[in-house]
Structure 1
Amino acid sequence: MEVDRIDNLLERYLHLLHQYTTLREQLSSLQTGIYQNIARANFAAERGMRFGQDYYDERMQASRKVAITLGGDQDVPAFAVTAGSTEAGLAQSEKGAATDNGARDASKEKEEEEARESQKEQRKDPLRWFGLLTPMSLRQAQAQSIQAIEQVIPKLVSVDAQMAQVEIEVRRARKKRAKAQAAAVKQEQEVGAGAGAEITV
């Protein structure tokens, strides 16, 4: 029955809507905390020192990647955030080149690679751009930003995609139900017209 299918779809949509609303509230709370902590850090900063995007430089780069996978019967996209950058690929290619040349000892190469990775990780951490004594409020702002980027936003976008798919399915089910009802009415009219003709004869 199309009516049962529509009811099930609407029930699922309400569950998704509840998840979406909860995630939006979490994101809003995190964003508020981020801005408050950055404001606290700026208030307590030394004269002439400011924390914010206006003071980023050429070191600014993405430290997270978005992975999109298609799942389910309707191929609904699911979003996830992973850590990493293009530097990891470069390090891997450098390692392959060194191995092909056979010029370096394996243990020495491993130590050098670990040292390079450690330096890269330190350079990629934006907190290190502002000196060694980073305010706690700035660290809290970073933690909240990471939580928003890695956990809340991917779930929010995934739920939004699922809601859009359910809306499409509801529209299709309603059209199918309307066609079935129209066909049933037409059949009743034809049967009624045939019965009337028999009575007249």
Structure 2
Amino acid sequence: METDNVDALLERYLHLLHEYTTLRAELSSLQTNMYQNIARANFSAERGIRYGPDFYDDRMQALRRLAVATDDEGVPVFSSATIDLASQTSPASKDAPEATNAPDTGGAPDSRTKEEPTATKIGKPKKTDPLQWFGILTPMPLRQAQGQSIQAVEQVIPKLVSVNSQMAQLEIEVRRARKHRAKAEASAKKQSQSVTSQEIAASDGA
């Protein structure tokens, strides 16, 4: 019975190992293609333009964050959660001064009671798509690199770390099952030796 339990755990572990290896290969392929597409975009770019950190927007924010949950067995399950920056208030609007009233000058025509322009309150609109940082005419290889990067972040990497967590949990279960099996075998062997000793003693006394 204990042997069947260990074999079932090992079989499940091998399936996870196969899935893990497949995901690692997929991630490696995506990363390779992504860097190749970035190199193609830079090769065909106009003189003086290079698609890289030099053109990053100063207000850059993450569009995706890590979400962690647990399954029925308490094993962490990772996923990617998309952030809607359009619904968030931009830093410029948070730091914009509010309407203030100057001290009363007795109702004189040059009273300084004014309201700040609306533009300073609203702030600059956020560019939620990083490709917009590089202008309107974005080369196709750069768009392909973005798609491959999104696929890696949203799909492959969360699955990869989730499978790795399951494998780590299974390794613990396998070790426990093997210890339990070893104790059961030792107990059965000891009991068998005790029965044999009793049989020998009984035969000697007959």
Residue 8 (structure 2) aligns with: 8
Unmatched runs of 5 consecutive residues or more in structure 2: 94-121
- Indicate if the aligned counterparts of 1:62 and 1:85 stay in contact, CA closer than 8 A: no
For the aligned residue pairs, the C-alpha RMSD in angstroms reads: 2.3
Residue 31 (structure 1) aligns with: 31
User: Residue 191 and residue 89 in structure 1: after superposition, are their counterparts in 2 closer, same or farther (change >3 A)?
Assistant: farther
1:180-201 Cα distance to aligned partner (Å, 9 max, x none): 0011111112222223333334
Three-state SS of the structure 2 residue aligned to 1:124 is: coil
What is the letter of the counterpart of residue 151 of structure 2? Answer: Q
* Structure number with larger C-alpha Rg: 2
Counterpart CA distance in 2 for 1:8 and 1:57 is: 52
Counterpart CA distance in 2 for 1:75 and 1:39 is: 43
**Structure 2 residue 189 is the aligned partner of structure 1 residue 185:** yes
Q: Which structure is higher in RCO with an 8 Å CA cutoff and minimum separation 6?
A: 1
User: Residue 196 and residue 87 in structure 1: after superposition, are their counterparts in 2 closer, same or farther (change >3 A)?
Assistant: farther
User: Residue 171 and residue 53 in structure 1: after superposition, are their counterparts in 2 closer, same or farther (change >3 A)?
Assistant: farther
1:84-119 Cα distance to aligned partner (Å, 9 max, x none): 06774658xx9xxxxxxxxxxxxxxxxxxxxx8xx4
Unmatched runs of 5 consecutive residues or more in structure 1: 95-115
Q: Aligned-pair distance for 1:152?
A: 0.7
Counterpart CA distance in 2 for 1:3 and 1:47 is: 68
Counterpart CA distance in 2 for 1:90 and 1:182 is: 67
Counterpart CA distance in 2 for 1:22 and 1:52 is: 30
Counterpart CA distance in 2 for 1:86 and 1:46 is: 31
User: Residue 129 and residue 70 in structure 1: after superposition, are their counterparts in 2 closer, same or farther (change >3 A)?
Assistant: same
- Indicate if the aligned counterparts of 1:42 and 1:50 stay in contact, CA closer than 8 A: yes
Residue 154 (structure 2) aligns with: 150
Give the TM-score, by structure 2 length: 0.76
In the alignment of these two chains, the number of paired residues is 174
Q: Aligned-pair distance for 1:8?
A: 1.1
Counterpart CA distance in 1 for 2:53 and 2:185 is: 59
- Indicate if the aligned counterparts of 1:65 and 1:85 stay in contact, CA closer than 8 A: no
Counterpart CA distance in 2 for 1:65 and 1:90 is: 18
Counterpart CA distance in 1 for 2:139 and 2:40 is: 9
Give the TM-score, by structure 1 length: 0.78
1:151-174 Cα distance to aligned partner (Å, 9 max, x none): 111111111111111111111111
Q: Aligned-pair distance for 1:179?
A: 0.4
